[in-house]
A and B are shown apart, each in its own frame.
Chain A
Amino acid sequence: MRFLTSGRRHKAARPLLLLLSLFLVGAVYAAVSPATSSSAEGVADAQLVAAGKNLFAVNCASCHGLNAEGLAQQGAPNLTNVGAAAVDFQVRTRRMPMANPLTQAVPGSKTIFTDDEIKALAAYVASLGNGPAIPDQNQYDPSNVSAEGAARGGDLFRTNCSACHNFKGAGGALPNGVVAPRIENTPPEQVWEALRTGPGQMPVFAAGAIPDQDVQKVIAYIKQVNAAPSAGLSLGGLGPVAEGFWAWVAGIGSLVLFAIWIATRGTRA
């Protein structure tokens, strides 16, 4: 899955992908979502895709190109095969439309689009190629995970995620100014989408590596470990650096103040 992610961004791959996407869009459009292709839905889908195409032209094409083929000078990738899930993730976390294309896409507080607009954008991008669809609730919803499942999720989390996101999802630094963000409060749907689409420097975790049930367990773990009471001030969950800081500032600091106080208390011997 690693080579898929990086291959997708390879410069030489772009022309090929462009050809492929033209081929896909032009020739096999009907086959894009065969599972939901009853004729009535097909019409609705076509309308949605058209609306999405318009939105895309206005908001996204300046970087991603009119046909989402990607523009190298903006550093914006080709979106042919990223799928509806990627669009939903990027737009819902307010990464897209990106403000400054030179830095990492930073999540914002609120998306600028309505649900319907996001759906349309997603449908348009999905219509271009093959990629993960927006998940159903039963794919990511962690509410049926057992206690044991959450513990298993913890193991998966430590194996696959904590290297970048820290042991409880408080975030971490990657080379070259890239940050793996805090994920303690990311909604389950976006966690699922992040895994399947691998935003930015994050690898794609495909269903073959972490099936949906396991994704739910990971999500359950992230939720529960952050909801569990901590043993006092948790110091941001940053580990020993924050502890050392407190030992010096609060501990030695206050003890020195006390020492000064004691030494100035004069006694007449």
Chain B
Amino acid sequence: MAKPAELSPASPAMEVRTPPKDPGPSKLAGPATWVDERIGLAKLMSNIRKVFPDHWSFLLGEIALYSFVILLLTGVFLTIWFKPSMAEVDYAGSYELLRHVRMSEAFSSTLSISFDIRGGLLVRQIHHWSAMLFVAAMTVHMLRVFFTGAFRKPRELNWLIGVGLLSIGLVEGFAGYSLPDDLLSGTGLRFVDGLIRSIPLIGTWAEFFVFAGEFPGTLVIPRLYMVHILLVPGLLLGLISAHMALLVYHKHTHWPAPGRTNHNIQGYPFFPIYVAKAGGFFFIVFGITILMGALIQINPVWLYGPYNPSQVTAGSQPDWYMGFVEGAIRIIPNWEWHVLGTTWSWNIFLPGVALMGLLFTALAVYPFIEAWITGDKSEHHLLDRPRNAPNRTAFGVAGMAAYGMLWLAGGNDIIATQFQVSLNNVTYFMRVAVFVVPVLAFIVTKRICLSLQRADKDRVLHGSETNIIVRSPDGGYSEAHVPISQGEAYSLTRHPQLDALPPNGEKLGRTRQRLSRWYADGQVPTPTVEEIEAAAHHSDAPALEGSDTAESGVSH
């Protein structure tokens, strides 16, 4: 920052003073210089050549970023007309089927955004769809980071920021969902009221604190409004900035390939290539969200009607990102303690508050636990292919399976009606599945990873299959193989080997020792140079390779 002028090759000061003499280039250079002299534009420009590697999975985070921009734009439009007030009014807008129904001003203003303000319904629907996509994109982005090991040193902090973004993204979405004060949002608030009250000891006090008295009171919508349009967006904005800054500081990770190492980065420069790609992608995200807003109805609050504590509807569900909590609550047995006139609602506290705490704690500590198990303190800028970290991958898939089961349980009534099965049976099934399916998923995933490792090793040693079946003189059949390229062989053998921590007795606890041995166990070692060379000599007669194995035994 100290010497911006020096860095700018196009800033001879006289050009600025005598613009009329040289109208051509100065038209552009003039303003650029002006800005450069004040904020050091040229320095910024050097960042603009930063290199970004190209892979579709690196664009998932961008979907989240662009959705957030869409949310800000459409959200500002909504704030112009939305009235965050729980004062009761007699609806007199143009939706006839609610005429003269008593409702809060929040609900009535949502109706008027939908029916009386030009473009209002479209913007509401875009806003809501992009909220769904925002959280969904954060989720898939996080999964990408998880399964490729991009959270490892030095990026743990950015992972933590991501976990923070995801959790307050849920809060933001929930607050927004509650604002219109329709039947579903009121039901959702009631649900959260229940969660708050289930907290042991302080529950009731916390409820009075949040709602300023008993549910629903008259203050909760204005409060949520403040949370939704000021507090959380501010936090999101700050965290997103920090997230991006760290990204630039660490540089992006990349996949192993010839020329790509832990110490360099290959890809396209941010400007102009990546800007064109990313900019184009922004418009695609924007376009798809608008299409969804224009073509698919979302949150038709006029059908739900205003919130009324005495009403409830079949199919009351939260938006998808709260579905796992809903599911856990739907399937938990009715555990409750009654001690000395107090009620301890474990049936709500465990699946609600504790489950959310568990999910986000597990996400937050995972990188540190893995590093502790492997004892790995080195920096990682090359990504892992998921198969090369079988336990991590299996653990991630198991987590997804548990989440997926809870999700399904949250829609148990819809499953029951749409597939004509009994609601009770779905519920009993889910109670078991939520524990069993993740275990199965872990075992199956780990096996798949290991066999993929084996397949990789085969490919390096014996080349790729040609789909040509050769009949040998003695009547056996086998498939001909051709060697793979050097580049591919490099990529397939580049991944680090997991080593169990050396047994050094008392310094490492027994648990850690065991865990680390288990973690490294079973992996298929990458082929050694000798093995590759031996296989290469052998490949004079590649056709006979594996003629004794079952897969190619089409013989006789």
Instruction: Please list the residues of chain A having a beta carbon within 8 angstroms of any beta carbon in chain B.
Output: 147-148, 150-152, 154-155, 158-159, 162-168, 170-177, 179-180, 221, 224-225, 228, 230-235, 237-248, 250-252, 254-256, 258-260, 262-265, 267, 269
Contacts and interface: CB of A to CB of B under 8 A. Distances in A.
B414 interface: yes
Contact of A166 (B276, B293, B314, B319): B314
B295 to A, nearest CB: 5
B97 A151 contact: yes
A167 B96 contact: no
Contacts of B277: 262, 265, 267
B305 A235 contact: no
Contacts of A158: 183, 305, 308, 311, 313
A12 B320 CA distance: 48
B1 interface: no
Given A158-B305, A172-B315, A243 B298 contact: yes
Interface stretch (B125-133, B435-443, B459-467, B495-503): B125-133
Interface SS, A side:
helix
A258 B137 CA distance: 14
Interface of B: 54-60, 63, 96-101, 114, 121, 125, 129, 132-133, 136-137, 140, 183-184, 268-269, 273, 276-277, 280-281, 284-285, 288-289, 292-300, 303-305, 308, 310-320, 323, 410-414, 416-418, 420-425
B315 A241 contact: yes
A96 B129 CA distance: 45
A231 B121 contact: yes
Contacts of B97: 150-151, 154, 221, 224-225, 228
A151 B98 contact: yes
Given A177-B424, A256-B60, A269-B273, A240 B297 contact: no
Given A243-B320, A248-B320, A232 B304 contact: no
Nearest to B310: A159
B402 to A, nearest CB: 17
A167 to B, nearest CB: 4
B315 A166 contact: yes
Contact of B315 (A154, A170, A179, A230): A170
Given A155-B305, A167-B304, A240 B296 contact: no
A27 B356 CA distance: 68
A248 B323 CA distance: 13
A13 to B, nearest CB: 27
20 contacts: A162-B314, A163-B314, A166-B313, A166-B315, A177-B421, A224-B96, A232-B125, A234-B297, A241-B320, A244-B320, A245-B320, A256-B56, A258-B281, A259-B59, A262-B59, A262-B281, A263-B55, A263-B56, A267-B273, A267-B276
